[in-house]
Structure 1
């Protein structure tokens, strides 16, 4: 099996209300010096070794199922075996 990770984030121009909520909460926890918090998704997939184009397959999965390409961007990382 080949381990592949997909990280999905909102595009920079899209507001991130969840990230903003975390950012606003930090000072109340006496945590300072952090700005522009963005929250996303981290997905791990195990792909069968019989798949010839692992990155290509996972790109299709990410583009069609895991991310909304209108408001999100993603990166695919194939971990060395």
Structure 2
């Protein structure tokens, strides 16, 4: 199955990259943009047919490596 993990900074954590993107958009005269946050998306295939097991495995991957859970949140999407 295909796995998509979206990682983003937790609310309240300063997003300096998001601020830089927001400033760049304003300099290009996109003045209707606000609250820009930058995250990352990790996409991979997982050789697992049991959805519960896949979710448990990917959650462990996120907790151990893919996300810094002190400052980041993550969302997992499984696609068969």
Per the TM alignment, residue 29 of structure 1 is displaced from its structure 2 partner at its CA by 0.6
Unaligned runs of 5+ in 1: none
Number of equivalences? 79
CA–CA separation in structure 1 for the residues paired with 2:30 and 2:66: 32
TM-score (norm 1): 0.90
Residue 78 (structure 1) aligns with = 78
Per the TM alignment, residue 50 of structure 1 is displaced from its structure 2 partner at its CA by 5.4
CA–CA separation in structure 1 for the residues paired with 2:75 and 2:59: 9
Per the TM alignment, residue 77 of structure 1 is displaced from its structure 2 partner at its CA by 0.7
Deviations 1:34-69 (A, max 9, x none): 101000010012000356600110000011100011
**After TM superposition, where is structure 1 displaced by more than 4 Å over at least 4 residues in a row?**
none
TM-score (norm 2): 0.91
Matched, 1:29 2:28: yes
Q: Please identify which structure carries the higher helix content.
A: 2
Cα RMSD (Å) of the superposition? 1.3
